[in-house]
Structures are given as structure tokens and as C-alpha cells.
Amino acid sequence: MEMNVTRRQFLKLSGAVAATLAVVELGFNENEAKAKANSFKIAGLKPTPTICPYCAVGCGILVYSKDNTVVYTEGDPDHPINEGALCSKGTTVRQVYTSDRRQEKPMYRAAGSSKWEEVEWDWALDKVAQKMKETRDRTFQTMENGVTVNKTEAIACMGGAALDNEETYLLSKLMRAGMGLTYIEHQARI
């Protein structure tokens, strides 16, 4: 008996056969199928563990790269805090690197100017150091109400969630003992 099959029916039938073969090959195991799909997505990429820079939760992220370029990011399943999960901000973290609006050089706006200009890192760091020294020397207090204080209240220091334990320790030491700051604040409160 002759059977008439339209082009549309033929394509549908081919798709169904291909899907059935794929399921058979994977042994009807949905988890295995998902794992295989994931391994294709990251095949040939180099994973580097890091911490999400956005908030104080400090979720672990795996950054997958190839040829020095970030290709894909996902929650680190071995990280004790998030166990692979990420919020919507963390999920899009690769845009910190890939966005065409990413600022790669420091910007400087001179006092009284309305224009920002791109400057070199060495110039910017020297400028920050000069300003901090000048402000500290001008505002340093050695005594207050008969008590030795050795402090300045003219500068504040703000840490961020991207800093790790050691960096935060060094920053705190530098600002407290080295500079005499009393206004030291930090965003991360893990």
C-alpha cells in the first residue's frame, strides 16, 4: 500500500525518530541528559573559581575562558555558600568583563571642570596618594580633650565585597594604624 507523506509530516517524523534515538542512547536518564548538555556547553573551556563581586553573600562562581576571553560563567557547585546557585545579578556577572560599556582605564575630573578625562593608572595612583597625604597632614589631630588620639576625621575608607580576608586585613591596618582613620566601613558582612 502506497503512503503519501507531506514534507511537513516527513520533517515531524524525522524529528521524533531523532529524539527517540537520543533518549535511547542516553538510557532514558533525564539527569544524565542534562549533564551531557552541560558538558557540551563548557567543553574545551578553562574553569577558574572566583567570588561574586556584587554583594556580601559572597557566592562562588566558575569563570570559563578560552584564549584569555570569558565565554561562560556559572555558580560553583562546590562552593559552601551558594552550592551552584546564583541570583540574577550573579548570573550575568560575565558582563563585567564582556560589556562594551566596561571602563578599562581610570577617569579623572579636575576640580571645577565638567569634563572627565582618561588617565594612566600610575598617574591616578600617584594623585590619590598625594591627595591622601595632603589631607591627612592638614587635618591630623594628635590630642582631643586631653587624650592622645592621632587621628583624622577628614578621610573615610569604604571596603567592598570583592576584597578577600587578607586584603581587608591589610586595608584595615593601613587605614587605622598607618593613616589614623576612624571612619572605616565595609559592605561585606559575612
Looking from the CA of 1 toward its CB, the CA atoms found within 13 Å total 2
Q: What distance in Å separates the CA atoms of residue 107 and residue 118, rounded to the nearest whole number?
A: 5
Smallest distance, Å, CB 88 to ligand SF4? Answer: 8
Give the 3-state secondary structure of residue 63.
strand
Smallest distance, Å, CB 81 to ligand SF4? Answer: 8
161 vs 179, which CB is nearer to ligand SF4?
161
62 vs 86, which CB is nearer to ligand SF4?
86
- Residue 52 in the binding site for ligand SF4 (CB under 6 A): yes
- Residue 86 in the binding site for ligand SF4 (CB under 6 A): yes
Residue listed under C-alpha cell 576584597: 163
- Residue 162 in the binding site for ligand SF4 (CB under 6 A): no
- Residue 57 in the binding site for ligand SF4 (CB under 6 A): yes
Q: Which stretch binds ligand SF4 (CB under 6 A): 83-91, 95-103, 145-153, 168-176?
A: 83-91
- Which residue, among 10, 87, 94, 110, has the nearest Cα to 50 in the 3D structure? 94
Q: What distance in Å separates the CA atoms of residue 97 and residue 105, rounded to the nearest whole number?
A: 13
Give the 3-state secondary structure of residue 68.
coil
Beta-bridged to residue 57, according to DSSP, are none
Q: Which stretch binds ligand SF4 (CB under 6 A): 37-45, 48-56, 114-122, 173-181?
A: 48-56
Number of residues that bind ligand SF4 (CB under 6 A): 11
The alpha carbons of the chain give a radius of gyration, in whole angstroms, of 28
* Chain positions contacting ligand SF4, by CB under 6 A: 52, 54-55, 57-59, 82, 86-87, 89-90
